[in-house]
Amino acid sequence: MQRPRVVVVGSANMDLVVMTPVLPAPGETVFGSEFHQVAGGKGANQAIAASRAGAEAVLLGAIGSDSLGVTLKARIAASGVDVSRLRVVYGASGVALVTVDAAGENTIVVTPGANAALTGLTADELTAVRDAEVLVAQLEIPVQTVTEAALAARDAGTRVVLNATPARRLPAELLAAVDLLVCSVPEARAVLDGAGRPAPDGLPAELLAGLLGVVPRVVLTLGPQGAWYADRELPEPVHVAPVRVEVVDSTAAGDAFTAALAVAWGEGRDLVDAVRWASAAAAGCSRRMGASVALPERTEIEQLYAAGWPQPPGSPSDLLSPGTMET
């Protein structure tokens, strides 16, 4: 099978990760058990995840001129990602402070650093977008840059997958260029809010119906409850149950999910099956600590997918070790 070419436009951060039994409350001090410095950032994670899942992956992003930037670039390149267009910007690299509790839940604070300077895509960067089968973007870089990339992709027939995280209101011209939106419930609400459509309080089906008024295809991720896929051609949304694994750290599980989804779609899978494959990738990522270092290789995704699918409609996949996963 031909490897799809996936271009990711997005952030690169150095993650400073502390494992702690319980996340501290505001004003509280707690002891952590481990500290790790791991390459991360939603853009870098998704590029690495796409490469490991089987794509020819290119990262359009920016690192700082500090030592963290040097380390970041080396680690991203080591995963097979084309970093030849990664910009080096004078100043600090993006940094994320990540705390992870015993249940694998996390909190993340990001200082964008160089990521904020990723503006005005060059002709060469836009050519990379046009030459790809799929463009993948998230929202840790300026939204104007995401919009530029998405418009170039749309004009060239490159599919646009937007992972609308972290939650932000988005301009109409960006949403008009999106082929597939991937978001959680709060992110969905922010999208609907920004589109001037009241976000319904209730069920995923209502949120999905609202989102289909804005984009043609949506994946709504619900963490341990799995994900919903909806598009304008389907009579009703399809629920995809999660692949159950023992969760160590859910950091970057959403990145593994989005990247695997893009790769599977680029390979020609139908999107419901692609969501299943992406769920297997997210589950694989959740079994390990850290962001980029936890992203699964294709063989692991295939193993989890084979164990988890097909399954009787409506039943969770509990063929693997018990626990839950987050996407």
179 binding ligand RIB? (CB under 6 A): no
Distance CA 170, CA 178 (A): 11
Q: How far is the CB of 85 from ligand RIB (least distance, A)?
A: 20
Residues 100 to 119 in contact with ligand RIB, rule: CB under 6 A: 108, 110
Distance separating the N- and C-terminal Cα atoms of the chain? 27
**Can residue 291 be called a binding residue for ligand RIB (CB under 6 A)?**
yes
Q: Shortest distance, CB of residue 156 to ligand RIB, whole angstroms?
A: 27
CA 305 to chain centre: 19
Rounded to a whole number of angstroms, the minimum distance from the CB of residue 153 to ligand RIB is: 22
| All residues at 6 or more sequence positions from 19 whose CB lies less than 8 Å from its CB, including other chains | 32, 33, 34, 35, 36, 100, 249, 289
Instruction: Give the burial class of 232: count Cβ atoms within 10 A of its Cβ; 0-12 exposed, 13-18 middle, 19 or more buried.
Output: exposed
Among 4, 40, 112, 194, binds ligand RIB (CB under 6 A): 40
* Nearest in space to 264 (alpha carbons), one of 168, 115, 136: 136
Please say whether the beta carbons of 114 and 141 come within 8 A.
no
Min dist. Cβ of residue 61 to ligand RIB (A): 12
Residue 255 annotated to the active site: yes
User: What distance in Å separates the CA atoms of residue 129 and residue 108, rounded to the nearest whole number?
Assistant: 29
Q: Cβ closer to ligand RIB: 12 or 214? A: 12
Q: Using alpha carbons only, give the angle 58, 132, 295 rounded to the nearest 5 degrees.
A: 40
Q: Please tell me the number of Cα atoms within 13 Å of 145 on its side-chain side.
A: 24
Contact range with ligand RIB by CB under 6 A, out of 38-46, 49-57, 122-130, 204-212: 38-46
Helix (H) or strand (E) holding 62: strand 62-64
Active-site residue identified among 15, 66, 179, 255: 255
Query: At its nearest, how many Å lie between ligand RIB and the CB of residue 96?
Result: 3
Choose one: 41-49, 149-157, 239-247, 268-276; the region binding ligand RIB (CB under 6 A).
41-49
* Residue facing ligand RIB at closest CB distance: 40
The residue type of 30 is V
Q: Whole-angstrom Cα distance, residue 71 to residue 40?
A: 11
Total residues contacting ligand RIB by CB under 6 A comes to 16
Interaction of residue 255 with ligand RIB, rule CB under 6 A: yes
CB of 200 to ligand RIB, least distance (A): 27
Among 13, 250, 258, 286, binds ligand RIB (CB under 6 A): 13
Work out whether 187 is an interface residue with ligand RIB (CB under 6 A): no
DSSP 224: G
* From candidates 6, 9, 19, 45, binder to ligand RIB by CB under 6 A: 45
Q: What amino acid positions are annotated as catalytic residues?
A: 255
Q: Site residues (CB under 6 A) for ligand RIB? A: 11, 13, 15, 40-42, 45, 96, 108, 110, 140, 251-252, 254-255, 291
